[in-house]
A and B are shown apart, each in its own frame.
Chain A
Amino acid sequence: MSHNLRIFLFIIVLTVISLYISLPSNIPIHLSLFGKQINQEILVPSFDVTIFGKRIQKEFKLKKGLDIQGGMQVVLKAKMNEIAAEDRETAIESAKEVILRRVDLYGINEPSVITSKMGEEYRLLIDLPGVSDPNQALQLVGTTAQLDFRLQNLDLATPEATYSAIAFFNQFERTNLTGKQLKRALVQFDPQTNEPVIALEFDDEGRKLFGELTKQNVGKVLAIFLDDMPIAMPKINSAILDGRAIMTGGFDLEEAKQTAIQLNAGALPIPIEIIEQRQLGASLGQAAVEKSVIAGLIGIGLVMIFMILLYGWKGLIADLALLVYGILTIAVYKVIGVTLTLPGIAGMLLTIGMAVDANILIFERMKEELRLGKPWKRAMELGFGRAWDSIKDANIATIMTALVLINPLDFSFLNTSGMVKGFGVTLFIGVLLGLFTGVVVTRTLMRVFLKDPGGSK
């Protein structure tokens, strides 16, 4: 098999796989044809096979950004004045953990909470997709965590306690000991067993309270509640009077870390202030997407016609390459999980216009070589070869700009906005894929399909 045919087959296989990935899992069709209503859903066969012991499943989905699916975005400023400098990192991590926990419990899909530090200011950037009640959402993210210690009282246990969580929680009685008296929680290792344990450190008031509690209740369970949900249920083994307790109990390192973070959320509560709030109704974004898609389709159609008018059969080949480009783009978005935003869609459409640039450069170059009297085949290869330098040089500037927009290393002095990133990512992917389809795909298709129109060699 010739080299060209092999590349050609590779492109076809790649396109088919990509097409498969880029198709939505069902395609609803609502048509009115010759007076008949057609309402059907085409189900794209799902994909769930095991190859070499690895399960491969088709579950690629286009992630939609907040501006498309609607939802809420909040930026919180953490007021760290009362927190010692060395505890600040821990405190912000804990605050993040608490917020994630709450929104998870509330049932928000794919929430995102990011901490960021700008100068001396600590911030939490929170994305809550699909939230429709902003007041409730703000309550979730905007209140400080409440930690308290509760003593189990078996007299309060009711028969329901075995199956009802609320009844079970009700058998714990509040004590005077709260997060306020807890100085910090740390993960340590038991020197004998080498197991991770959690060390609690109380302040003076806490030491007295904790000492008393443990002295009087040896053998009982002293549960720790965060936001009225238990996070640990240690049993008191002996009286602890020095304000330093160790919780053992067979957690692995990850669990121990998690629990310590939650404990610190109560120990280092930080007051927060909302400095930015954005919320978008879902209908707004959806309408904008539909409009953009229509605009995109019309644009692509016009570009394709333009290419055929200008370059004839070569234009048609470029159009085929453009289709491959479109299919690959959506597949890449799905596979690497690009979050699609409205500016991102704009970037994608822009790159469709740019993707044929390589073709135009090459075809124009070909025309020149033909004018110089070179045979067709030779002119084609020369066109690709000579245009490549310009194509490569010219696209590097776009790639650099896209990288500044994406800010992949998360420099705090550069923009971190999701909208700008969204545009940058689609621009970046678009330029790279455009190079591939514009050069490799078009050349292969031309080598395979186009013969010398003049008939001569």
Chain B
Amino acid sequence: MNFMKWRWLYFAISLVVIIPGMVSLILFGMKPAIDFTGGSLLEVRFNQISEKSSLSYSSLKDKLSEIYELDAIQQSGENQIILRGKHLNNEQKNLILEILSDNYGSIEERRFEAVGPSLGRELLTKTLIGVVIAAGLIMIYVWIQFNELKYGVSAILAMLHDSMVLLGVFSLLGYFYGIEVDILFVTALLTTLSFSVHDTIVVYDRIRELRGKYSKYSLVSLINTAVTETLSRSINNSVTIIIMLAALAMLGGETIRWFAVALLIGAVTGTYSSTFTAAPLLLLWEDVAKFIKQKRK
């Protein structure tokens, strides 16, 4: 099948997905969790909320305002809320719990996290280093594997494509739904990088194999054949991964839901990009190279 005939369409689809995300990333940025910024998170469950004394966030805010700079109150279940704010020490937390139980009856402390600001910055540096090292290793590996600049660069561009999709989507999710990026998001990003090259390598491997067999054919028809032959495998394989991740995202509980969603987005874009970004990029490279040659002449 002549898949490559539609290559501009594939690039256009990518741009439609990437551009809104990138705009959001530039305008709104991401919503970092306390892992990165430092701060506190306190999840409490109210055991005795009756209809009369129903919780109102504004009154809650008033009551805590003297000791605590609240950033957000969030419902996290029935009679259960999460308070987010500045870094707290244990005494301050106890004070908050006291105020809450004085006003609303018996409460249960479900979760408390407090991260100092310096630690948050440090984690940010560490994760950035981690991303750079992983991306660097994969880059070197692809380079060695394919021994030809255009394969290496195209595989890496596809990887970049996938990272931008994921970052963009989470920037939008952060802006509209308040989804935060935490350390697990970065983990998902790294895993996405490996998904991305995983599939790309399968496609490129096939192109290389065909090139060896049918050296007379043009690159376009080689790529078309390779894509045709690997597409069903790519899709079938992604389906199994997507089944697992979708089950996890829908049923797996709050703690890892967004982690699963991030992995899911990574798996989808990774599959798409290896066939519809990495392969056509090879052709684009060829076209540009030809164009430059003609100009020089």
Cross-chain contact A306 with B255 (CB below 8 angstroms): no
Minimum CB–CB distance from B206 to chain A (whole Å) comes to 8
Q: Does B198 contact A (CB under 8 A)?
A: yes
Cross-chain contact B248 with A401 (CB below 8 angstroms): no
Minimum CB–CB distance from B232 to chain A (whole Å) comes to 6
Cross-chain contact A349 with B233 (CB below 8 angstroms): no
Cross-chain contact A413 with B260 (CB below 8 angstroms): no
Closest to A423 in B: B187
Residues 345-385 of A at the B interface (beta carbon under 8 Å): 345-346, 349-350, 352-354, 356-357, 360-361, 364, 368
Stretch from A14-22, A89-97, A297-305 contacting the other chain:
A297-305
Cross-chain contact B205 with A393 (CB below 8 angstroms): yes
Task: Find the residue from A277, A292, A398, A414 having the highest chain B CB count within 10 A.
Answer: A277
Cross-chain contact A302 with B130 (CB below 8 angstroms): no
Residues 385-400 of A at the B interface (beta carbon under 8 Å): 389-390, 393-398, 400
Stretch from A100-108, A211-219, A235-243, A278-286 contacting the other chain:
A278-286
Closest to A356 in B: B240
Cross-chain contact B111 with A279 (CB below 8 angstroms): yes
Cross-chain contact B202 with A343 (CB below 8 angstroms): no
Task: Find the residue from A77, A283, A356 having the highest chain B CB count within 10 A.
Answer: A356
Q: Which residues of B contact A (CB under 8 A)?
A: 89-90, 94, 108-116, 118-119, 122-123, 125-127, 129-130, 133-134, 137-138, 141-142, 145, 183-184, 186-187, 190-191, 193-195, 197-199, 201-202, 205-206, 229-230, 232-233, 236-237, 239-248, 250-256, 259-260, 263
Contact A350 to B113, CB < 8 A, known contacts A275-B118, A292-B253, A414-B129:
no
Minimum CB–CB distance from A5 to chain B (whole Å) comes to 30
- Assembly CA distance A398 to B201 (angstroms): 12
Contact A134 to B240, CB < 8 A, known contacts A295-B250, A343-B184, A350-B263:
no
Cross-chain contact A414 with B205 (CB below 8 angstroms): no
Closest to B232 in A: A364
Contact A306 to B243, CB < 8 A, known contacts A135-B90, A356-B237, A404-B190:
yes
Give the interface SS of chain B, mostly helix, strand, loop or mixed: helix
Cross-chain contact A390 with B112 (CB below 8 angstroms): no
Q: Does A67 contact B (CB under 8 A)?
A: yes
Cross-chain contact A368 with B229 (CB below 8 angstroms): yes
Cross-chain contact A75 with B119 (CB below 8 angstroms): yes
Name 13 extra pairs, CB < 8 A, besides A138-B90, A360-B233, A423-B184. Answer: A134-B90, A278-B113, A279-B113, A281-B108, A299-B248, A303-B244, A343-B259, A357-B237, A400-B194, A413-B129, A414-B129, A419-B187, A420-B187
Minimum CB–CB distance from A158 to chain B (whole Å) comes to 40
Cross-chain contact A306 with B111 (CB below 8 angstroms): no
Q: Within 8 Å CB of A296, what residues of B?
A: 244, 247-248
Contact A346 to B259, CB < 8 A, known contacts A276-B119, A360-B233, A415-B126:
yes
- Assembly CA distance A278 to B122 (angstroms): 17
Cross-chain contact B233 with A276 (CB below 8 angstroms): no
- Assembly CA distance A307 to B251 (angstroms): 22
Q: Within 8 Å CB of B118, what residues of A?
A: 275
Identify the 9 closest CB pairs spanning chains A and B, nearest first: A299-B247, A353-B244, A353-B241, A275-B116, A295-B251, A291-B253, A401-B194, A288-B253, A299-B244
Cross-chain contact B236 with A310 (CB below 8 angstroms): yes
Q: Does A83 contact B (CB under 8 A)?
A: no
Q: Does A42 contact B (CB under 8 A)?
A: no
Contact A415 to B197, CB < 8 A, known contacts A275-B119, A299-B248, A427-B191:
no
Closest to B126 in A: A415
Cross-chain contact A417 with B116 (CB below 8 angstroms): no
Q: Does A29 contact B (CB under 8 A)?
A: no
Q: Within 8 Å CB of B126, what residues of A?
A: 413-416
Contact A404 to B244, CB < 8 A, known contacts A295-B250, A350-B263:
no
Cross-chain contact B116 with A343 (CB below 8 angstroms): no
Q: Within 8 Å CB of B141, what residues of A?
A: 396-397, 400
Contact A288 to B229, CB < 8 A, known contacts A353-B243, A389-B205, A405-B187:
no
Closest to B90 in A: A138
Minimum CB–CB distance from B144 to chain A (whole Å) comes to 10
Can you pick out 17 interface pairs between chain A and chain B where the beta carbons lie within 8 Å of each other?
A275-B115, A276-B114, A277-B90, A277-B112, A295-B251, A346-B263, A350-B245, A361-B202, A390-B202, A390-B205, A395-B198, A397-B138, A398-B195, A401-B191, A404-B133, A415-B130, A419-B184
Interface string of A240-282 (1 = CB under 8 A from B): 0000000000000000000000000000000000111111110
Which of A75, A294, A353 is close to B240, meaning CB atoms less than 8 Å apart?
A353
- Assembly CA distance A441 to B163 (angstroms): 35
Q: Within 8 Å CB of A357, what residues of B?
A: 237, 240-241
Contact A397 to B114, CB < 8 A, known contacts A299-B248, A343-B187:
no
Cross-chain contact A364 with B251 (CB below 8 angstroms): no
Closest to B246 in A: A299
Q: Within 8 Å CB of B252, what residues of A?
A: 288, 291-292, 295, 346
Q: Within 8 Å CB of A135, what residues of B?
A: 90, 94
- Assembly CA distance A350 to B240 (angstroms): 9
Closest to B91 in A: A135
Q: Within 8 Å CB of B247, what residues of A?
A: 295-296, 298-299, 302, 349
Cross-chain contact B113 with A292 (CB below 8 angstroms): no
Minimum CB–CB distance from B68 to chain A (whole Å) comes to 16
Q: Does A13 contact B (CB under 8 A)?
A: no
Cross-chain contact B248 with A349 (CB below 8 angstroms): yes
- Assembly CA distance A419 to B188 (angstroms): 12
Q: Within 8 Å CB of B194, what residues of A?
A: 397-398, 400-402
Task: Find the residue from A278, A295, A416, A424 having the highest chain B CB count within 10 A.
Answer: A295
Cross-chain contact A420 with B241 (CB below 8 angstroms): no
Q: Within 8 Å CB of B206, what residues of A?
A: 390
Q: Does A118 contact B (CB under 8 A)?
A: yes
Cross-chain contact B94 with A291 (CB below 8 angstroms): no
Q: Within 8 Å CB of B115, what residues of A?
A: 275-276
Closest to B146 in A: A393
Minimum CB–CB distance from B246 to chain A (whole Å) comes to 8
Q: Within 8 Å CB of A394, what residues of B?
A: 197-199, 201-202, 205
Minimum CB–CB distance from B177 to chain A (whole Å) comes to 20
- Assembly CA distance A73 to B233 (angstroms): 44
Cross-chain contact B248 with A400 (CB below 8 angstroms): no
